[in-house]
Amino acid sequence: MRRHDPGVRAPSADAARGPSIGDGQVLNLLAEWLPNQRWFAGGAAEAAAATVLQRATLLRTEAVSAELALIRIATATRDVTYQVMLGWRTVVAERLEHAVIGVSDALVCYDALQDEDITGVLMQTIADGSSIGPITAPGGAIDAPPDGWHGLAMTSEQSNTSIVFGNALIAKFFRRIEPGINPDAEMSAALSGRPYSAAYRGELRIVLDGAPTTLALVTHFIPNSADAWSTATVSVRDLLAEGDLHADEVGGDFAGEAFRLGGTIAQMHGDLAAVFGRFPSRDEEIDALLAGIERDAAALQTRLPEMTQLLPAVHRTCTQLGDDLAGARPTDQRIHGDLHLGQVLRTVDGWVVIDFEGEPAVPLAQRREPASPFKDIAGMLRSLDYAARYPLYMSTVDAQRAYRSDEWLARNRAAFLDGYAEVHGADPRDEPGLLTAFELAKAVYEVDYELRHRPGWVRIPLDAVRTLTAAQ
Amino acid sequence: MVDTDSPATPQAASRAALLPPDPGWYKRAVFYEVLVRAFADSNDDGTGDLRGLIGKLDYLAWLGVDCLWLPPFYQSPLRDGGYDIADFRAVLPEFGTLDDFVELIEAAHGHGIRVITDLVMNHTSDEHPWFQASRTDPVGPFGDFYVWSDTDAGYADARVIFVDTEPSNWTFDPVRGQYYWHRFFNHQPDLNYDNPAVGDAMIDVMRFWLDLGVDGFRLDAVPYLYEREGTNGENLPETHAFLRRCRAVVEAEYPHAVLLAEANQWPADVVEYFGDAAVGGDECHMCFHFPLMPRIFMASRRESRFPISEILAQTPPIPRSGQWGIFLRNHDELTLEMVSDEDRDYMWAEYAADPRMKANIGIRRRLAPLLNGDRKLQELFTALLLSLPGSPVLYYGDEIGMGDNIWLGDRDGVRTPMQWSPDRNGGFSRANPERLYLPAIMDPIYGYQATNVESQLGSSTSLLAWTRRMLQVRREHAEFATGALADLGGSNPSVFSFVRTAESADPTQSGIDDGTGYDPAHDAALAHRVLCVNNLSRFPQAVELDLRMFEGLTPVELTGGNPFPRIGELPYLLTLPGYGFYWFDLINEHVDEIAGGEQT
């Protein structure tokens, strides 16, 4: 068997020097490390072009030192800032080997978020409501655990890094930083105490480009959960395996869950409107949405010839929707903004909504603007469509399986909307134009996304574009 | 007080020797519910009897059963399976004599097996001399033993339990000219516990059997002892006070004995029947956990752990001396009282396609046919029964996968003769088949010619052999009996994973942790843990478990002893076949050499 090294060792001792090591050396280390991080959007070229925006020492002892480093990557379209927590030690224990970034000037540099000694210091700052270097901790409501802070990094996270403390708290460190309060923190605080939301427990902030900016959000941790995508696809799989039973007859029926999920989302919308207010939509909002659909669909035809055939139908549909919705001033409000089945967790107490960050690709200021709740509803309906269709494409599509998939989608889509209508008091289906417009916009966006990232899945949103435009 | 019951001291019967004291034995015991009528017939009259059961103790000891639960075998007109008792101190003659009973206890103890009996405290048969005296002599010593009223309007908030057959909880008695109260069938009048003489009389009944050597009682229908206007008549404080009185008698005079409550209520209410946690529990030692069982059925059909996880999260901790009794099936129908309406509709639709399978608010099937005879699913269910918190209660015949007969009335479909061999009457009786109390199952799949003990004894891969092996494994790991449960969750909703941790060497510790307060750091120093991973789906599954709190430990599979890869920093990947499950011991040893790992 492989014997473990005693640890990566740097030749001389005194970790306190770490934060004094030059920016250039730090950037050299990061140039190789960043492209391997899931949350880093660029490749080697972007990493090599990184600059240091700010470094701030958090901890400095002979054994270990730690600092916050804000790294800026200039791209053609806009600048992106990443949060990196650097730890420095003369030697790192085996448990931290996987976090090592590199060795520089006789010190081992590693990802400090993997080190409970350092994340514990940050958590204690929140518990004390104090500050550490330029990092402040407003609004914290946590107590130090009697046996100290023991953090475990979640392994499933894609775009951020989350640390769980004692199955009681979870601290999400945002990797991509924009100046301003992160909507995830803002919404968590606003919805704290609601049964469908993880209770807000505090934040770490820094002033960036003159604006208080969220570095990390701490909420109550919900153990024993599984996201709606997993639970929904279990149900689809159960139905697809049946020869003669219908969607309402199989054991794995999801409709009850979908109904309660719809009610949860309606409750969330009601609460968000109560906290942040309701606003009439802007004059051009619907027109811009419809124009965007046509523009984005047209832009796809060079990469996807099938889209060319669909363009007349898309145009016809958007024109019709424009007529139907002319003069309509639907209400806007703060919404989740990136709602899909992966953003809701089935817990032992029901559904819990997470990740209020909004679409990461959209600038932060825009993400905090009021928008139509139909955008969230459409997001969930599109996600149900994915759950119903994706198992089909995992093997050969046959008519029987496609029929079952349709059946599942119709049943659970209706159940979700029924649940939403029951809590909201009005049925989204009473606004068919809005529903279709937002679903179509989402589906066109998905076609683009799948072409870039998962070409094998492009049939799912493409079918949806076809269905949505054929219906009009 | 004049006692019209049988003599208080048994005339002929001697007293059976007790097993050596073993405090908390019920927390580690595997219980086996055996119907005397259905198990073995020693005198060829077509009905099972006590001497027949004595003859089968070797089998039960071989199987690995620790305690028998005998449903009522008392003098009874048998209009409710013996739960209508006409004499608390007499054995039903067709089952044998009091001497036979003492011999059964003696012989069971000789096999290391304890015996608890059913005690119906709430009501008697209308043939009981107490009731006959009460209806004919309202001012006599028994005039106030039952709940009488001039009208049928009282206690309107109490639900009717047997909704199929009983229009009301009041029935008019033409002899006394008054209505009497009954929570169950109208031939089972409720005793009036507001009369102190009733409580005294019932405690004397307990003493009578404990003096003979029994190891405790399953207390039938305990929530209903008292009635109070404006309440539903369940879980009243007066009822709890009477149970404390019973427990005090047991503690003082019969410390070997256990009280097991049948309280078909939600866990938060059932917990009250353990009594005061501050003194470690001062009512019943054990209570059945009713909602768990239907949730296991639901979870497998939905292929989701949440029905089980939810009910475990809703289960409060229990006092130090307490233990749950858990079961998959018993002599009653699959109880659906303790599920929501939505869940009940669902269960009916899933498990009782034929309306005959529905009885009252339940489903009258045995485990094997309920699971469509799926061996993998039977094994998964049994593995859950043996690994979830509580003492498992097996139902006779389920260890061989016996079937049911839905064409028999009431709940008799699951009370057919035990199938011992392919011989006449399944080896249960040498009587003519027409004389049997119920016909033996004869269908091609579950009939005694195909499904019987003898043939399964001869096969090491039979369900019987498998069940016995699992009972052995469970016995070797006290964590299964008394360890705290931590639900591990995980991203795959079809996989239900949990750890049972023995907090200390003290076997009196037990409890259910809902997972929210689980702190791995506190767990680090503890020595004994078993990890259970269950695939609730019929399809193979992969699951990645976050086991970092057990980093450095090695899972060793319990049935075969094979070490699995050591737990590290990364998510722990396991693959499970459809309805597959693993039981692991988590040990703090390097076992590369055992695994034949490459040496450097």
C-beta atoms of B571 and A152 within 8 A: no
pLDDT value for B266:
77
Residue B340, φ and ψ in degrees, nearest 5: -70, 165
pLDDT value for A252:
81
Instruction: Tell whether A251 lies on the interface with B, counting CB pairs under 8 A.
Output: yes
Specify which residues A91 forms β-bridges with: A9
C-beta atoms of B493 and A155 within 8 A: no
Chain A: residue nearest B538 by CA?
A: A238
C-beta atoms of A223 and B537 within 8 A: no
Give the gap in angstroms from C-alpha B523 to the nearest C-alpha of chain A.
11
Instruction: Tell whether A285 lies on the interface with B, counting CB pairs under 8 A.
Output: no
Interface test with A, best of B292, B296, B303 (most A CBs within 10 A): B303
Q: Report in angstroms the alpha-carbon separations of A216 from A12, A177, B582.
A: 33, 10, 39
Q: Could you give the CA distance from residue A65 to residue A85 in angstroms, rounded to a whole number? A: 11
Full-model pTM: 0.84
Q: Give the other-Cβ count within 10 Å of A158's Cβ.
A: 9
Return the HEC string of B370-407. HCCCCHHHHHHHHHHHHHCCCEEEEECCHHHCCCCCCC
Chain A residues with CB-CB distance to B571 below 8 A: 155
Chain A residues with CB-CB distance to B350 below 8 A: 251
Residue A1 is nearest to which of B301, B514, B592, comparing CB atoms? B592
C-beta atoms of B493 and A346 within 8 A: yes
Q: What ranges make up the beta strands (E) of A311-443? A: 331-333, 344-347, 350-353
Residues with Cβ < 8 Å from B550, sequence gap 6 or more?
Answer: B499, B520, B529, B531, B567, B586
Domain ranges of chain B: 25-123+195-412, 480-587
> Catalytic pick from B5, B49, B80, B262?
B262
DSSP state of B320: T
C-beta atoms of A251 and B489 within 8 A: no
Looking only at Cα atoms, what is the longest distance across chain B? 92
C-beta atoms of B350 and A230 within 8 A: no
Q: Could you give the CA distance from residue B392 to residue B324 in angstroms, rounded to a whole number? A: 9
Chain B residues with CB-CB distance to A226 below 8 A: 306, 489-493
Chain B residues with CB-CB distance to A156 below 8 A: 491
Chain B: residue nearest A147 by CA?
A: B521
Residue A226 is nearest to which of B313, B492, B522, comparing CB atoms? B492
* Antiparallel, parallel or unpaired: β A151-153 and A160-165: antiparallel
SS3 B188: coil
Q: Could you give the CA distance from residue A230 to residue A342 in angstroms, rounded to a whole number? A: 8
CATH code that applies to domain B25-123+195-412? 3.20.20.80
Instruction: Tell whether A79 lies on the interface with B, counting CB pairs under 8 A.
Output: no
DSSP state of B438: S
Q: How many degrees, rounded to 5, is the angle at CA B579 between CA B573 and CA B583? A: 55
Chain B residues with CB-CB distance to A235 below 8 A: 302-303
Please, where are the H alpha helices in A277-394? 285-300, 305-324, 364-367, 373-393
C-beta atoms of A147 and B522 within 8 A: yes
Chain B: residue nearest A165 by CA?
A: B519
Instruction: Tell whether A172 lies on the interface with B, counting CB pairs under 8 A.
Output: no
SS3 content of chain B, % helix, strand, coil (to 5): 30, 20, 50
> Catalytic pick from B220, B272, B399, B513?
B220
Interface test with B, best of A230, A237, A239, A348 (most B CBs within 10 A): A348
Residues with Cβ < 8 Å from A419, sequence gap 6 or more?
Answer: A258, A259, A260, A261, A262, A263, A264, A266
Chain A residues with CB-CB distance to B519 below 8 A: 145, 147, 166-168
Is residue A301 within 8 A of residue A313, CB to CB? The reply is: no
Contacts made by residues A20-23, CB under 8 angstroms, sequence distance 24+: A21/A88, A21/A104, A21/A105, A21/A107, A21/A109, A23/A52, A23/A55
Residue A252 is nearest to which of B303, B516, B599, comparing CB atoms? B303
Residue A231 is nearest to which of B304, B309, B548, comparing CB atoms? B304
Contacts made by residues B556-562, CB under 8 angstroms, sequence distance 24+: B556/B584, B556/B585, B556/B586, B556/B587, B556/B591, B557/B582, B557/B583, B557/B584, B558/B473, B558/B476, B558/B477, B558/B530, B558/B583, B558/B584, B558/B585, B559/B469, B559/B470, B559/B473, B559/B583, B562/B595
Q: Report in angstroms the alpha-carbon separations of A241 from A247, A250, A401, B15, B534.
A: 11, 10, 8, 60, 21
* Antiparallel, parallel or unpaired: β B216-220 and B114-120: parallel
pLDDT value for A282:
83
pLDDT value for B344:
53
Give the gap in angstroms from C-alpha B333 to the nearest C-alpha of chain A.
21
Contacts made by residues B76-80, CB under 8 angstroms, sequence distance 24+: B76/B125, B77/B125, B77/B127, B77/B187, B79/B125, B79/B185, B79/B187, B80/B184, B80/B185, B80/B187, B80/B188
pLDDT in tens, B133-147: 999 999 999 999 999
Q: Is B144 a catalytic residue?
A: no
Chain A residues with CB-CB distance to B495 below 8 A: none
| Successive 10-residue mean pLDDT values, chain B, 600 residues | 48 77 95 97 97 98 98 93 94 96 97 97 96 96 96 91 86 96 95 97 97 96 92 92 97 97 84 95 94 85 89 91 92 57 54 44 76 94 97 96 84 91 96 95 94 95 97 95 92 95 53 41 59 96 91 94 91 95 89 43
Q: Could you give the CA distance from residue B87 to residue B224 in angstroms, rounded to a whole number? A: 21
Please give the structure tokens belonging to residue B551: 């980093």
Q: Tens of pLDDT along chain A (472 residues)?
A: 333 344 455 545 588 898 999 999 999 999 999 999 989 988 888 899 999 999 999 999 989 999 999 999 987 777 899 999 999 999 998 888 989 999 998 899 999 999 999 999 999 999 998 999 999 998 777 888 888 898 888 877 778 999 999 888 999 999 999 999 999 999 999 998 999 999 999 999 999 999 999 999 999 998 888 999 999 998 998 888 877 777 777 778 888 899 999 999 999 999 999 999 999 988 788 999 999 999 999 999 999 999 999 999 999 999 999 999 988 888 999 999 999 999 999 998 889 999 999 987 888 999 999 999 999 999 999 999 999 998 887 777 788 888 889 999 999 999 999 999 999 999 999 999 999 999 999 999 999 999 998 898 999 999 999 999 996 5
C-beta atoms of B493 and A231 within 8 A: yes
Q: Is B80 a catalytic residue?
A: no
Q: Report in angstroms the alpha-carbon separations of A225 from A194, A201, A348.
A: 17, 19, 7
pLDDT in tens, A36-78: 998 998 888 889 999 999 999 999 998 999 999 999 998 777 7
pLDDT value for B341:
53
pLDDT value for A5:
44
Instruction: Tell whether A361 lies on the interface with B, counting CB pairs under 8 A.
Output: no
Q: Could you give the CA distance from residue B550 to residue A210 in angstroms, rounded to a whole number? A: 45
Instruction: Tell whether A256 lies on the interface with B, counting CB pairs under 8 A.
Output: yes
Chain B residues with CB-CB distance to A256 below 8 A: 342
Instruction: Tell whether A237 lies on the interface with B, counting CB pairs under 8 A.
Output: yes
Q: Could you give the CA distance from residue A299 to residue A51 in angstroms, rounded to a whole number? A: 34
SS3 A294: helix
CATH 2.60.40.1180 describes domain B480-587:
yes
Q: What ranges make up the beta strands (E) of B429-561? A: 484-487, 495-502, 528-535, 541-545, 554-557
Q: Could you give the CA distance from residue A272 to residue A187 in angstroms, rounded to a whole number? A: 8
